Amino acid sequence: MKPSKARSYLEYILIRSLLGGLAVLPRPIRLKVAYFFGYLGYLLASKLRRTAKRNLEMALPNLSNPEQENIIQGVFRNFGRLLAEFSYFPKLTRESIENIVVYEGLEHYLSAINKGRGVLFLTGHIGAWELSSFAHAVYGYPHNILVRQIDNPYIDKLVDYYRGCRGNKAIDKNNSVRAILSALKRGEAVGILIDLNTVRNQGIFCDFFGIPACSTTGLATLALRTKAAVVPGFLLWDEKLGKHKLHFEPEVELIITGDQKEDILQNTAQFNKVVEKIIRLYPDQWMWVHRRWKTRPEGEKGLY
């Protein structure tokens, strides 16, 4: 059931006030306040903590309980950091962005976009993922981002403004194919997050941390159809720098066997491996609270 109009507007006022209040604080204080909110979330969201623990038990079974707990706390700390950075989007400029985000591997993106076939960013909910696309636009490379509309229309409009105030364009996930194809035809880039659970009739099962995970085929299908370059890109927090690294990897070479179904399966599987590699390197920056392995193959018992 959708919330009432009055409740939706109240939620919007609260979110807008929170973002506005954080944005006026100096960045060190803004981060500390947001980390406090993240810790509150950790204390209060027991269901999400249980999901994260179950995921870690399945995906990284060699971790000790204290190691699991450190990662889970890091996940909520990462959410706080995302909130802090998101609140400041409208104030970020080309002159100030280098104080927050630095590039790592920009040449891989430039090489791919210069081929003129468009670029599909292979990415996921890692680090302050909203900042990855925004920072790239602030640096002078606006692009298209695939998004799901938020149920609350007031908050959806607010978030859409924050995401797009430096030139990025949002594409509604539910009606996206034509818009994505048009963008690629113009030689533009499109960001697609591929790390969430997918319902059985909209995905295929591929290995993810040694467990079959129902995965979206959209990125592989688009890449094979358009021959657009697939470039892995992730925003990763560097504690020593006190900044985020916008990390790009070399273009992924597509597997082409001539069998369309097999090509989609193999490329989706290799895309999953790219995401898994980054998560293993930065486990406390991924969204373990999501039930990634919820959808199971026909007849298989649920894992949660």
* Per-residue pLDDT tens digits for 57-113: 999 999 999 999 999 999 999 999 999 999 999 999 999 999 999 999 999 999 999
Asked, for residue 232, whether it belongs to a domain, the answer is: yes
Asked, for residue 271, whether it belongs to a domain, the answer is: yes
CA 271 → CA 41, 183, 195, 210, 211, distances in Å?
31, 21, 10, 14, 15
Asked, for residue 155, whether it belongs to a domain, the answer is: yes
Asked, for residue 55, whether it belongs to a domain, the answer is: yes
Whether 292 has a pLDDT exceeding 70, the answer reads yes
Task: Report whether 169 contacts 136 (CB < 8 A).
Answer: no
Task: Report whether 63 contacts 56 (CB < 8 A).
Answer: yes
d(CA 251, CA 229): 6
CA 237 → CA 129, 146, 153, 191, distances in Å?
10, 23, 31, 19
Task: Report whether 263 contacts 255 (CB < 8 A).
Answer: yes
Number of independent structural domains in the chain: 1
Asked, for residue 294, whether it belongs to a domain, the answer is: no
pTM exceeding the 0.85 threshold for the entire prediction: yes
Domain coverage including residue 233: 5-285
Task: Report whether 212 contacts 297 (CB < 8 A).
Answer: yes
Asked, for residue 63, whether it belongs to a domain, the answer is: yes
CA 202 → CA 163, 216, 217, 268, distances in Å?
27, 7, 8, 13
Residue 256: its pLDDT value, please?
A: 97
Asked, for residue 301, whether it belongs to a domain, the answer is: no
d(CA 285, CA 177): 30
Asked, for residue 179, whether it belongs to a domain, the answer is: yes
pLDDT in tens, 119-170: 999 999 999 999 999 999 999 999 999 999 999 999 999 999 999 999 999 9
Whether 179 has a pLDDT exceeding 90, the answer reads yes
